[in-house]
Structure 1
Amino acid sequence: MYLRRLKVRNLKLLRDVEISFERNGEVRPWTVFVAENGLCKTALLQAIAMAASGPTLASELADVASLPDRRHPEEETLIAAEFSLGRENHRLRQYPGFDKRPIRPPTVDCELTTQHGWREFKGWSSYGDKDRQWPSDMAADPLREARREQLPYWFVAGYGVDRSLPPPGGTRRTDLFSDPIKQRLENLFDQRKLTATGFSDFLETDLAHAYNHALIKVLLADKLLPRITEVRMRHPSQKVRSVQEIRESHLFHFEQGGASVPIPTTWLSRGYQSTIAWLADLIGQFLLEAGTEVDPRRMEGLVLIDELDLHLHPTWQAALIPALKHVFPKLQFIGTTHSAMLLPGLVQDEVLLLKQDEEGNVVVEPAPASPALMTGSEIFESFFGIHHLYPDKLGQDLQRFGYLASNPYRSDDEEREMGVVLNRLKKEGVEPGWTPVARQKPTVAKPRPSSKRRVTPGQRAAPKRVRAGRTGRKKR
């Protein structure tokens, strides 16, 4: 599934918001929301996930009673969306309500509503009429049917901020196969841990090999995560005889000082785990649904990720989105971030800013320019409202002291100010390390001597010479 348009009304602080996820009539593959804390970034991702789930599954995922805008308890909460379906798996996909496969993948419109005090959604979905492709059953609710029957190739997955790798053998088979569609979204709603590398413990032998191959391909492509040279995962058919063998059944090999060092997955840093976990889970969910090997470059669907930059070093953040664009060209990603380092991988229409208007409502604004063409200082100023490199008072004092100390022509007032600033810095334990230059008196330029001849009193000035023919009469 791909998201084309979203409309939200009276959901928390989202009073009336409409967002397009298209570019020149086609689905835009990347959208990242940037905003301060508390301005509904996560709420927007969850609203998209609920719209893609249908009313029954959405009611199971969300705390519905917490969603209505408490400032307007008498008004209805609405989530409406338009989705489209990918062409790659059109011949394999079932379309509830169609006796014959439509010529092209149709669009799907859906709507969810709830009210203050309700514990569930009511809603509907239907095929769009843009292509004039009508189902044989006009009363069909395609999203509800697709979710109820667990139909493949209606793919959407969501990832929250609780992203870590499970220990080998730590995933139960019932967790994996009971309701895979719901499982793909629960992490975004803080309801469960990710299966992630646990897929290798339960997939059939051929599919487990395909999973390992795809994961290695993704992690090693474009240096998505630095220093990883090899990934090894034991298949459950291999017998283990000790706790040590269980722990080391999932190993990531790292380049350390020219050598390759194997590290168990649960020993990895948070930065590695937070990214490997959702990537490993995403690939596993695709293969579980398809039942066969799928090239990551041919995977289609919608992926929602909260805090893309979670636990990542700025160098990794800068490389993350370009690498994902290359590895998953047919996936649509919608995410959130607080990181300026992540934005240079995006162009102007791929970044949306969430702000509050005078009434406290969250509104959506386009990016002022393409972050891919901006300097770091310009990104901080345009997207995060940081207008200088020293946002705190201590940094401003240090900068001011440096200016005054290096100015030999500082005034008496500036000399006193420099002493006050230096005392404040020392009280905070900051030693500037600069010795003020000696003061100098400003050089006063001497007046240049006049070129005119001076005339003393009693002296007559010499008459000016007059060139002949200029002022006299003209000779005849």
Structure 2
Amino acid sequence: MKIDRLFLQEFRGIPKLEIAFDDRITVIVGRNGQGKTSILDALATILQSIQLSWPSEGAPGLYHAPQVSVSDRRHKSNQTRVRLDFSFEKAESLGTIPVPSMLEAGYTDSSDNQQLGRYNEFWQYASAGGLAREERPLMVYYRQDRGFDANPHATEPVDRASTIMSSLNGQLKAISHLETWWDKRDAQEARRVRDKDQTYRDPQLEAIRALIKQIDGFSDVSYSSTNEPEGLYFEKLDGTMVHVSVLSSGERSFIILLADLARRLQTMEPGVTLAEISGIVLIDEIELNLHPAWQSKIITTLQSVFLKCQFVITTHSPQVVSAVESDHVRALSTRDDGEIEAKTPLRTKGQTSNYLLEGVFEADERLPEVAGMFDQFNIAIESKNLRQAKSILAKISKSIEGDPPELLVLRKRLKQLGDAA
């Protein structure tokens, strides 16, 4: 299954928006308040309905029509609507029941049935077994808080059913669930090594061990029930063991996100390699707490490890955007009539941060005050106002630390104007 296109109308701060998704990764950029998080929230609302309606392990799906609430209406509007177009790879029509390709939800004040939508057609197909041939993807939403709890004693089960129920709208509890899952599998691995095969390594744990080795500065991960505190320890290249609770916020953002996603995927499809497990993964502000070097690397890592996952992420980071081709980027902008557009930039991959700040993020590469002085200097030069140009250059020199090449250019232009006077 892949998500193809999202339509929003009068949804939160968005009057109207249509956005298409790449089948591998879509990176959404835009100013604060333009609706990046609202797009992910709308996706999660529709996907939650699909996820719960999907029959699982011989059990029927749950009737769960997608719902938007009165609070999702845009200010002063009496209705709101969300529609998601999607496609299946193997699903086929069931007699007169067609393969569903869209799902929508809406709310209006003017209808007796205030919740609007077309869920029944999807439910008819799903409950009749239409999704049996389709590989079920993991659907997970990493919000800005990431759900990286620090409770070392999770008591709820960490299994396929709980993964399905919690991945989109529940509490992820990424750390405690990862520790509980790892402790159980690690104990099983140790017993098999002791009783049967000294060379045995649990394939699911090995997948995460290999993943950790790809992260700069780390070489391994293990679980200790004898150390204080008990739990997961990450080994750095110098041999230092770091408990998960004392990882830096940046390390948690990178390591736990990757490890939790790997665990969830393998919980969905035990015995299948990470590269072969499907998923639809939503990540809000992927660069949170990450050093710029890791901001540019995290996209590459996600794409190289999770080959069958479709990612939709938001970011404010030029480093993140520079890691993907422009076809994967959707830059939100507000038109004169107030509607939001999702545009594809001209080029992004490998471009400098300065280029992306101005060309994609519509932001100045310098502080606005300093950028304004550069503009004033250029106007003074073009007007042949030597005195004013000297005064502005003096202000610029005080506002910029050091002696960057830009100042040399300005001084040269000033000298040329003086020589010509």
Q: TM-score, normalised on structure 2?
A: 0.75
Native 8 Å contact 1:168 1:250 kept in 2: no
- C-alpha distance in structure 2 between counterparts of 1:373 and 1:229, whole Å: 28
Structure 2 residue matching 1:341: 3-state secondary structure? helix
- C-alpha distance in structure 1 between counterparts of 2:348 and 2:267, whole Å: 37
Which structure has the larger Rg over C-alpha atoms?
1
Native 8 Å contact 1:398 1:432 kept in 2: no
Letter in 1 for 2:102: D
Task: Say if 1:107 and 1:441 are closer, same or farther in 2 by CA, change over 3 A.
Answer: closer
Native 8 Å contact 1:81 1:110 kept in 2: yes
Task: Say if 1:122 and 1:442 are closer, same or farther in 2 by CA, change over 3 A.
Answer: closer
Shift of 1:13: 2.8
Which residue of structure 1 aligns with residue 126 of structure 2?
142
- C-alpha distance in structure 2 between counterparts of 1:116 and 1:107, whole Å: 28
Which residue of structure 2 aligns with residue 169 of structure 1?
152
Shift of 1:20: 2.5
The match for 1:70 among 66, 75, 81 is 75
- C-alpha distance in structure 2 between counterparts of 1:56 and 1:330, whole Å: 17
Letter in 2 for 1:142: A
The match for 1:251 among 233, 243, 263 is 233
Native 8 Å contact 1:158 1:185 kept in 2: yes
Give deviations 1:361-413, integer Å, cap 9, x for gaps: 3222222x1201533322111111134x3223257669999xx9xxxxx9555
Shift of 1:335: 0.6
Native 8 Å contact 2:29 2:330 kept in 1: yes
Structure 1 residue matching 2:367: 3-state secondary structure? coil
Task: Say if 1:172 and 1:322 are closer, same or farther in 2 by CA, change over 3 A.
Answer: same
Shift of 1:350: 0.4
The match for 1:218 among 211, 222, 245 is 211
Shift of 1:84: 2.7
Q: Does 1:227 align with 2:217?
A: yes
Task: Say if 1:10 and 1:441 are closer, same or farther in 2 by CA, change over 3 A.
Answer: closer
Which residue of structure 2 aligns with residue 6 of structure 1?
6
Structure 2 residue matching 1:140: 3-state secondary structure? helix
Q: Does 1:345 align with 2:323?
A: yes
Q: Tell me which protein shows more helix as a share of its residues.
A: 2
Task: Say if 1:170 and 1:116 are closer, same or farther in 2 by CA, change over 3 A.
Answer: farther
- C-alpha distance in structure 2 between counterparts of 1:71 and 1:295, whole Å: 50
- C-alpha distance in structure 1 between counterparts of 2:273 and 2:297, whole Å: 22
Shift of 1:6: 2.0
Give deviations 1:103-138, integer Å, cap 9, x for gaps: xx96643222222599966541646xxxxxxxxxxx
The match for 1:45 among 34, 40, 44 is 40
Task: Say if 1:81 and 1:429 are closer, same or farther in 2 by CA, change over 3 A.
Answer: closer
Shift of 1:307: 0.8
Structure 2 residue matching 1:185: 3-state secondary structure? coil
Native 8 Å contact 2:4 2:84 kept in 1: yes
Q: Does 1:160 align with 2:143?
A: yes
Native 8 Å contact 1:304 1:335 kept in 2: yes
Shift of 1:340: 0.4
Q: Tell me, which stretches of 5 or more residues in structure 1 are unaligned?
A: 23-27, 128-138, 235-239, 405-409, 445-476
Q: Does 1:391 align with 2:370?
A: no
Letter in 1 for 2:70: A
Task: Say if 1:418 and 1:283 are closer, same or farther in 2 by CA, change over 3 A.
Answer: closer
The match for 2:280 among 302, 326, 332 is 302
- C-alpha distance in structure 2 between counterparts of 1:56 and 1:316, whole Å: 32
Letter in 1 for 2:349: A
User: 1:270-285 to 2 correspondence within 5 Å?
Assistant: 270-285=249-264
Native 8 Å contact 1:169 1:201 kept in 2: no
Give deviations 1:241-282, integer Å, cap 9, x for gaps: 6xxx25243110112xxx221110111001110122222222
Native 8 Å contact 1:165 1:266 kept in 2: no
Which residue of structure 2 aligns with residue 261 of structure 1?
240
Q: Tell me, which stretches of 5 or more residues in structure 2 are unaligned?
A: 54-63, 193-200
- C-alpha distance in structure 2 between counterparts of 1:198 and 1:215, whole Å: 15
- C-alpha distance in structure 2 between counterparts of 1:282 and 1:347, whole Å: 24
Which residue of structure 2 aligns with residue 111 of structure 1?
104
Letter in 1 for 2:126: P
Which residue of structure 2 aligns with residue 378 of structure 1?
355
Which residue of structure 2 aligns with residue 329 of structure 1?
307
- Identical columns (%): 20
Give deviations 1:317-352, integer Å, cap 9, x for gaps: 112212221111211101100000111211122000
How many residue pairs match? The answer is 383
